[in-house]
Chains A and B, each alone.
Chain A
């Protein structure tokens, strides 16, 4: 319960930083609210692109294969304003990502929160102005 409240608080706080409502594509059409996901892997690429940044994380499957997940973040101006810098998530660093899976069944998700395993630092990655909700709780199934 405390965890859930923390997520709601974190999201509301960051939503307040948004001055304008905008949504350039339909979040609900692209991602599925019923498919929360938690991923753990290493960063292979981070692209600071508009309208959304993209973080690529290599995740090991139970049978030992490596799958590269494409994770959508907020836009570079939004990340920059939240204090993200390019050097925050270097290639090869291990991260835990919480988000919601894409509807089309590809290895893609909307990243709501990214935690750097080595330092425990958590960065809010979502785009509240798109209507993306708070991150699913840490215990959500993969």
Chain B
């Protein structure tokens, strides 16, 4: 999965270690996330708190992925590590190299448990012709969408659409709808390229941090709730 969405899903200039990119947002047409004013300010705050400057301490980076926390959906798809899709008629299993994560997505109807908010949300899938549609709900507000602090809240609904274009290519389209954060739903799109005969390897993120001199942590700063201002 080689695209630049992991850095920033919007158009962006280059910075240290980050190539410039035109973004992956197809709707709205200007490629910008349609934030409400309070949310745009919050994203800028996230951005400021996640800049990598040297000497670098990942534990002080507000980006949850810098501390190896779950990337959530859809960020896990374009995080930069490969994924493997195992498909049967009753479920889709997506196995991710990053932190040995896997999403088991039922293809048959199954009730969504109530009252939860989860880093990966709860996924339910169905076919629309040759497109697999995955609706993700019951999300938490602990995750970001990329390294610049783009985000959604607990009320977000994410819809992934996987469409086979040819034997080795899928189109991955994501619609994000969250009336507390955005003025309207918006969409991203990117290709997912298959690599045949390459197995999924491993990325134990926190082991890599430990090898780089950052010991395991148990800080709980992610559980400060996102405060959504009253309108």
**A: which residues have CB within 8 A of B?**
47-48, 76, 80, 85-87
A22 to chain B, nearest CB (A): 15
Chain B interface helix/strand/loop/mixed: loop
Q: Please, what's the 1-or-0 string for B88-129, where 1 marks a CB less than 8 Å from any CB in chain A?
A: 000000000000000000000000010110000000000000
In the complex, A47→B225 CA distance in Å? 12
B115/A86 in contact, CB under 8 A: yes
Give chain A residues whose Cβ lies under 8 Å from the Cβ of B115.
Answer: 85-87
Give chain A residues whose Cβ lies under 8 Å from the Cβ of B116.
Answer: 48, 76, 80
Q: A47-B220, A80-B113, A86-B115 are in contact. List 6 more A-B contacts (CB 8 A).
A: A47-B223, A48-B116, A76-B116, A80-B116, A85-B115, A87-B115
In the complex, A86→B140 CA distance in Å? 14
A77 to chain B, nearest CB (A): 9
Give chain A residues whose Cβ lies under 8 Å from the Cβ of B113.
Answer: 80
Q: Please, what's the 1-or-0 string for B32-46, where 1 marks a CB less than 8 Å from any CB in chain A?
A: 000000000000000
Residue of A nearest to B140 (CB): A48
Give chain B residues whose Cβ lies under 8 Å from the Cβ of A85.
Answer: 115
The number of chain B residues with a CB under 8 A from chain A is 5
Give chain A residues whose Cβ lies under 8 Å from the Cβ of B220.
Answer: 47
In the complex, A6→B116 CA distance in Å? 32
Give chain B residues whose Cβ lies under 8 Å from the Cβ of A47.
Answer: 220, 223
Residue of B nearest to A87 (CB): B115
A60 to chain B, nearest CB (A): 24
A-B contact pairs, 9 of them (CB 8 A): A47-B220, A47-B223, A48-B116, A76-B116, A80-B113, A80-B116, A85-B115, A86-B115, A87-B115
In the complex, A36→B220 CA distance in Å? 27
Residue of A nearest to B117 (CB): A48
Give chain A residues whose Cβ lies under 8 Å from the Cβ of B223.
Answer: 47
Residue of B nearest to A86 (CB): B115
In the complex, A36→B188 CA distance in Å? 54
Give chain B residues whose Cβ lies under 8 Å from the Cβ of A86.
Answer: 115
In the complex, A47→B220 CA distance in Å? 10
In the complex, A76→B113 CA distance in Å? 12
In the complex, A76→B116 CA distance in Å? 9
A27 to chain B, nearest CB (A): 18
In the complex, A87→B220 CA distance in Å? 21
A55 to chain B, nearest CB (A): 14
B205 to chain A, nearest CB (A): 16
A31 to chain B, nearest CB (A): 17
B4 to chain A, nearest CB (A): 31
Across the A-B interface, the 6 shortest Cβ-Cβ residue pairs? A85-B115, A86-B115, A47-B223, A80-B113, A47-B220, A80-B116
A18 to chain B, nearest CB (A): 19
Residue of B nearest to A85 (CB): B115
Tell which of A48, A76, A86, A87 has the most Cβ of chain B within 10 Å: A48
In the complex, A87→B116 CA distance in Å? 11
A52 to chain B, nearest CB (A): 12
Give chain B residues whose Cβ lies under 8 Å from the Cβ of A87.
Answer: 115
